[in-house]
Amino acid sequence: MAELTGRVAVVTGGTRGIGRAIVERLVAEGASVWVLARSVDAGRALEGALPGTSFLATDVSDPDEVTAAAKEITRVAGRVDLLVCNAGITRDDLLLRMSDDDWNDVLDVNLKGAFHCLRAFLRPISKSDAGAVLCIGSVVGTMGNAGQANYAASKAGLVGLVRSAAKEYAGRGVRINVLAPGFIETEMTEVLPEEVREPLLARIPLGRVGSAEEVASVAVFLLSPRASYITGQVVAVNGGLHP
């Protein structure tokens, strides 16, 4: 029997990149997966291509939409066991040129979006006998990155949010962790010009970028009973990339 058979999982931003890889691995392990994302076309395409998934158009920066999604999933599925807060955006620019909108948009999706999801889903998850939450952070949240002050701040903020929530819900048996990828080959990174990619690669001890599947493997482990004594942690998947 697959490891997560019978579990109900929710993944935000699960239509592409790391999020989609996590969705695919969760389904392979037997979970029923609800995917929350803004793109209706991408969500419907995923739902049609991958049995075991259901899609709800949801903007995680909108607390009302997240609350409505949580109520609908709980009503239809009857339970929620696992949550992956993966939805994220970038609006890169140097700090002195960064607009208020670019700052606010990134924080609203990456950090407030995770807060909205934790607040909406932790109640049903706390009723599970194996509840687990994973927020997708970034190596940038600990090392910083020129031109990404907003993104780095949002990912650093996830660490404080998760460690606080982990302490609040440990007594209810819910484990909450951060998974912090490094330089991973996704649609978000494949557009980087070579003059940006090469210096990054030179700093990675393993000498290559990672894959979304490698991140998903660790994500499923952290959500599984095999990680039953891990909570409030930041788990890096970065090929050795550190400040």
Q: Is residue 72 part of a domain?
A: yes
CATH number at residue 22: 3.40.50.720
Could you tell me if residue 242 is inside a domain? Answer: no
> 97 lies in a domain?
yes
> Is the pLDDT score of 1 beyond 70?
no
Q: What is the pLDDT of residues 68-102, one digit of tens each?
A: 999 999 999 999 999 999 999 999 999 999 999 99
Averaged over 201-216, what is the pLDDT? 94
The CA distance from 237 to 213, in Å, is: 11
pLDDT band at 166 (very low <50, low <70, confident <90, very high): very high
Question: What is the enclosing helix (H) or strand (E) of 50?
Answer: none
Reported as a single tens digit per residue, the pLDDT across 120-158 is 999 999 999 999 999 999 999 999 989 999 999 999 999
Task: Specify if 96 maps to a domain.
Answer: yes
- Catalytic annotation present for 151: yes
Q: Which domain holds residue 38?
A: 8-237
Question: Average pLDDT over the chain, rounded to whole?
Answer: 95
Q: What amino acid occupies position 14?
A: G
Total structural domains within the chain: 1
Q: Is residue 195 part of a domain?
A: yes
Whether 127 maps to a domain, the answer reads yes
Instruction: Decide if 243 is inside a domain.
Output: no
Alpha carbon distances (Å) from 173 to 9, 17, 176: 16, 30, 10
Judge whether residue 207 has pLDDT over 70: yes
Q: Give the predicted TM-score (pTM) of the model.
A: 0.96
Task: Name the catalytic one among 103, 151, 169, 183.
Answer: 151
The answer to whether residue 138 is domain-embedded is yes
The set of residues, in sequence order, having a beta carbon less than 8 Å from that of 53 and lying 6+ positions away, is 23, 27, 32, 33, 34, 35, 46, 47
pLDDT tens for residues 13-22? 999 999 999 9
